[in-house]
Homo-oligomer: A and B are copies of this chain.
């Protein structure tokens, strides 16, 4: 490796990709766009695009989300950086390095295409294939990350509207993890964690339909869960 010019550097294109997840009708959905341009024109992909000259990756992610899907300023949308994908041939046009983000939304406003996207829509997570580029891998990584972060952080409330019932919060865990949780135990655990949720004092209640009305809660001030809310043990199955 000696002898190459130490100051030489290759220019790369830098993009962002977004794995935006939400819950609709009790199922995990992901925001997809139909590509309007080559390569992969007509195929579905994660929203995203090139960084502008003076943008940070997070700024670019918010801009592309707004441009391609019409989702903007969605009640404090929290983006979390997932990782960066830099394999040399991940884009057939040229060398592209992509910074991937995850985001979670409570309600699901309908997106609409724009910019490079012919159209945009929520797609059930299980049916989000095939995807352009290496976006299937990015989406799978995002799912793993969100599942893991539910254990140790208060992230689950980001899937819920500003005021929610403990049943709705439990649905988040069950849907993302794909397991059933015991309701009384979940309740005990959540309420025993200081700062996770706080009750809405106005004796509020909400009826989705049948059954006893549930008390409403708001997201608490904590961001980390101590102790964590571990998913049911996959005993004997070393990860």
Contact = CB atoms under 8 A, between A and B. Distances in A.
Nearest to A83: B81
Size class of A's contact patch?
35 or more
B86 A238 contact: no
Interface stretch (A21-29, A169-177, A209-217, A221-229): A221-229
A126 interface: no
B10 A12 contact: no
Interface stretch (A49-57, A156-164, A200-208): A49-57
A231 to B, nearest CB: 9
A103 interface: no
A169 to B, nearest CB: 18
Contacts of A148: 152
A51 B10 contact: yes
Contact of A99 (B86, B195, B234): B86
A238 B67 CA distance: 37
A11 interface: yes
Contacts of A236: 194
A14 B97 contact: yes
Interface string A177-197: 000000000000000001100
Interface in A37-82: 37, 50-58, 63, 66-67, 81
A195 B234 CA distance: 13
Q: Which 3 A-B pairs have the closest CB atoms?
A: A11-B11, A224-B239, A9-B50
